[in-house]
Amino acid sequence: MKQNLSNNIHFKRFDWLLFLLLSFILTIGVFFVWSASSEIFLFKQIVWIVTGLTLFFTLLYFDYLSFADYAYIIYAFVLFLLLLLLVLGDSVKGSQRWFSIGAFSVQPSEFMKIAVVLALARFLKYKKYALGLFDIGISLLLTGIPMLLIMKQPDLGTALIMVPILLSILYTAGIRLSHLFLLVGTGMAISPFVWMFVLKSYQKSRIVGFLWPERTADWGAGYHRLQSLIAVGSGGLFGTGWGNGIQNQMKFLPERHTDFIFAVIAEEWGFLRACLFLLLYVAFIACGIGVAKDTRDSFGRLVVVGIVTMFATQVIVNIGMTLGVAPIVGVTLPFVSYGGSSMITSFVALSLIFNIKMRPMIDLASRRFSEAKS
Partner 1 sequence: MYPLRFRIIILVFILLFFGIIVRLFQLQVIESEIYQGISHRRRIATTLLETTRGSIFDRNGKVLAVDQPTFDVSVLFKNLLHCYLNRTEQPYPFTSLKIHEDEKKQCRECRENQDVWLERLSQLLGIPQAELLNNTRQIIEKVERLKQSVERRAGKKVRIKEEIDYHPVVADIPWEKVIQIETRQADFPGIRIVPRLKRVYPEQKLASHILGYIGKLTMEEWREYREAWNNYVLASTGAETLSLLYDGYMENDNLGRDGIEAQYEEELRGMRGKRFEEITYKSSQMERVIVERPSISGNDVYLTLDSRIQAYAEKSLGTHAGSVIVVDPRTGEILAMANNPRFNPNTISEDFNRLINNPSKPFLNRAIQGALPPGSIFKAITAIAPLSSGVLNTQTAFECHGYVRHRNVTLRCASRNGHGLISLEDAITYSCNVFFYEVAKAFGRDIFYDYARLFGIGERTGIDLPHERSGNMPQVTATIPAMNIAIGQGRLLTTPLQMVRVYAAIANGGTLVQPHVLSKVINSQGEVIRRFEATYNQKLPIHPSILNSIQASLRDVVTRGTARGKGLHLYKAAGKTGTAETGRKGDYHSWFVGYAPYDNPRYCFIVLVEHTPKSSAEIACPIAAELLSYLFPEAHRAS
* Separation in Å, CA 60 to CA 21, 91, 102, 304, 357: 18, 39, 27, 14, 10
> Does the protein bind partner 1 through residue 282 (CB under 8 A)?
yes
CB 167 within 8 A of CB 136: no
Binding mask 88-127 for partner 1 (x = CB under 8 A): -----xxxxxx------x----------------------
Among residues 9 and 246, whose Cβ is nearest to partner 1?
A: 246
Q: Which of 66, 202, 364, 370 binds partner 1 (CB under 8 A)?
A: 202
Shortest Å, Cβ 59 to partner 1: 24
Q: Which of 48, 56, 210, 281 binds partner 1 (CB under 8 A)?
A: 281
CA distance 93 to 205: 22
Binding mask 3-42 for partner 1 (x = CB under 8 A): ----------------------------------------
> Does the protein bind partner 1 through residue 320 (CB under 8 A)?
yes
CB 15 within 8 A of CB 304: no
Q: Which of 247, 332, 345, 351 binds partner 1 (CB under 8 A)?
A: 247
Taking contact as CB under 8 A, which single stretch among the options 5-13, 20-28, 69-77, 313-321 is the one that binds partner 1? 313-321
> Does the protein bind partner 1 through residue 275 (CB under 8 A)?
yes
Q: Which of 74, 131, 232, 352 binds partner 1 (CB under 8 A)?
A: 232
How many chain residues bind partner 1 (CB under 8 A)?
Answer: 69
Q: Which of 136, 274, 333, 343 binds partner 1 (CB under 8 A)?
A: 274
Residue 348 identity: V
> Does the protein bind partner 1 through residue 334 (CB under 8 A)?
no
Length of the chain: 374
Element (H, E) at 106: strand 104-106
Q: Checking DSSP bridges between strand 99-101 and strand 104-106, what pairing results, if any?
A: antiparallel
> Does the protein bind partner 1 through residue 365 (CB under 8 A)?
no
CA-based nearest residue to 319, from 337, 303, 339:
337
Task: Read off φ and ψ for residue 199, nearest 5 degrees.
Answer: -70, 145
CA distance 31 to 243: 9
* Separation in Å, CA 165 to CA 66, 75, 107, 307, 374: 21, 15, 19, 8, 32
Residue 61 Cα to chain centre, angstroms: 23
User: Using CB under 8 A as the criterion, which residues of the chain lie in contact with partner 1 when the complex forms?
Assistant: 93-98, 105, 154, 168, 171-172, 174, 200-202, 205-206, 209, 216-217, 219-223, 226, 229-237, 240-241, 243-247, 249-250, 252, 255, 258, 266, 270-271, 274-275, 278, 281-282, 285-286, 289, 292-293, 305, 309, 312, 316, 319-320, 323, 325, 339
